[in-house]
Amino acid sequence: MFKNYCKVGLLGVSLLCSSTLVAEDYKVGNGVPDPINTWAPNGYVGDIVHPITGKAPANWAAANEQGLLSYYVDSSHPDATNTNNEFGSPDKPRKTIMEGTYAAGAYVEIHGGPYDGGGQLIITADGTPDKPVWIRGVDQDNRAIISGETIIKGQYVILENLEYNLPKKNVSFRSHNGSNLHHAVIRNSVFRGNGENVGNAAAIAIYGGLDNRFHDLVVFNNDISAFGNDFDDVNPADGVSSENDYHGVIPRSNVDRVWILRNKIYNLGGDSVQVGIASTADVNRPSYVYIADNDFYSNLENGVDVKEANNTLIINNRIWDWKKHKNNSSTGGAIIIHNGANNTWVINNEVSDAASGIAATDSSLDTWVIGNVIKNVQHPDWDVEWAGGLYDSGMAIHFRGGSSGGAINNTIINYDKGIEAATGEYVYINNILFNRNSEMGNDLFVESTQSSNLVNNNVVYSKSVSLKQTNVTCVACLYEDPLFSDLSQNVSLASNSAAIGAGFNIQSYLDKYKDVFGVELTQDIYKGKRVVGGIDIGAMEDQDSQSGGGQEKPLSPEIINIEVN
């Protein structure tokens, strides 16, 4: 986990500040495939070093005692030299990081820095599942400082305890002169830019070639910030003169199975994570990118931006603080899915304080938004022409441009527009929509009367404005206070809430999820067990009610096409 870093959470709880990263004994969460399952060839016999929790030798001395090829690098040591000194030692370190090929099990301990390799550090690893190549700083308190773009080639390599301070390129998991890469990890490291607009780039770039797809790459427990200009010092009403797409992590093309886990990525000119790029051929699309347990906040653009990609999972993240800037249409959205993305699942995330929450556009097929808490989504005050239309900001969940999919078991609080869609077939079931802010927005909206939608078992209630749904027939919906226990803590329901046990059965959607990702999704946003028969409405399942076996409540009467004043 991140220990004592700057954060204001979804419910307004402030924490202290530090850049110390603590991996601890992390476990891949419910609904996320564990990388260990593809970390060795089929039929492999032997131990496998887990890419997330696997531990390196304690230090150079320990690695040396184990008989590993052990390299000791410290440019600040008075006796440091590369002359007749291939490996180095504490008494006589290497002066630079050796570029070239490292054998299986090689251990490279780097002290101090900066090291730039003449602009690029090009390292080839020949590791194995049981003997990866280790490229590492001493520990979290003594990171090695790198100031050259690091290009990694080969297989089974783990980089950790590093600190990058480049204004442009940092770690490149990319093809270089036709190189291949698989089973590589960057973890427990810090990437810190200078906050200046230096053009399009990424702190960690990931892409193979058309006939050379990379696979099985892990980005875990890193702190990435201040790349590009987030324009935090500019009044959003004044606009931003130009985009500066400096992203945190971008699996852009020709890569399969990327895990982006428990990182903190913030204050960037672009997105925390962008998956895919626009106008790429279908054969080049990245596939199976898993984005889980991260904190994304305060970028100029988005938390997650999914473009031309297949099978993307965005789960258990905290994503907040997205300002919309005048004359810059790319800003203000927490999660954006477009450019024909296929099979994108947005599950159990906390999204708050944004101009738009989760939006799918431009033929994004099978976008499923399930179990999220979405809070404080409002159009900017400077937008005096805002009218609450389909293309206006302020929406919690949005589908358009030939998109398909649906919104299931979300809890939405304080919003201008609730769940909305253009022409198509969509599912809105088991959602709580509580406290719409604007009279002009809709709670539930479908643009066309010709659309065929499944809209069932939602709870819609507002204390201050009239309920409004347009072109929507809502079956078994409740229009009453859902009765939260204590919104300063979470979105749990009071014991007498009518939403408990009143949901629509979602087993078919959970089966679809398993078909795509090969694992079951059985937990709510706070890791409580989901009860499919007798499921609650909203993001959080009431655990106390499960002792009764999750008996399903009778459905409430049908109320359709409502606009109540």
* pLDDT given for residue 399 in this prediction: 96
How confident is residue 28, by pLDDT bands cut at 50, 70 and 90?
Answer: very high
Residue 556 has pLDDT above 60, yes or no: no
Residue 559 has pLDDT above 60, yes or no: no
* pLDDT given for residue 45 in this prediction: 87
> Is the distance from CB of 347 to CB of 372 less than 8 angstroms?
yes
How confident is residue 531, by pLDDT bands cut at 50, 70 and 90?
Answer: confident
> Is the distance from CB of 152 to CB of 180 less than 8 angstroms?
no
Predicted TM-score (pTM) of the model is: 0.94
* pLDDT given for residue 14 in this prediction: 33
* pLDDT given for residue 26 in this prediction: 92
Residue 551 has pLDDT above 90, yes or no: no
* pLDDT given for residue 423 in this prediction: 84
* pLDDT given for residue 241 in this prediction: 62
Percent of the chain exceeding pLDDT 70 equals 92
Residue 476 has pLDDT above 60, yes or no: yes
> Within its chain, how far is the Cα of 398 from the centroid?
19
Please state, rounded to an integer, the average pLDDT across all residues of the chain.
91
* pLDDT given for residue 22 in this prediction: 67
Residue 5 has pLDDT above 50, yes or no: no
> Which residues share a beta bridge with 274?
305
**Structure confidence by residue, pLDDT tens digits, 135-192:** 999 999 999 999 999 999 999 999 999 999 988 889 999 999 999 999 999 999 999 9
**Structure confidence by residue, pLDDT tens digits, 379-393:** 999 999 999 999 999
Backbone φ and ψ of 502, nearest 5°: -105, 15
Alpha carbon distances (Å) from 453 to 426, 456, 520: 5, 10, 26
How many residues can be counted in the chain?
Answer: 565
- Return the beta strands (E) in 133-196 as ranges: 133-137, 144-146, 149-160, 162-164, 171-174, 181-187, 190-192
How confident is residue 23, by pLDDT bands cut at 50, 70 and 90?
Answer: low
Residue 547 has pLDDT above 50, yes or no: no
The end-to-end CA distance of the chain, in Å, is 47
Per DSSP bridges, beta strands 264-266 and 295-297 are parallel
How confident is residue 12, by pLDDT bands cut at 50, 70 and 90?
Answer: very low
**Structure confidence by residue, pLDDT tens digits, 47-56:** 999 999 999 9
Residue 549 has pLDDT above 70, yes or no: no
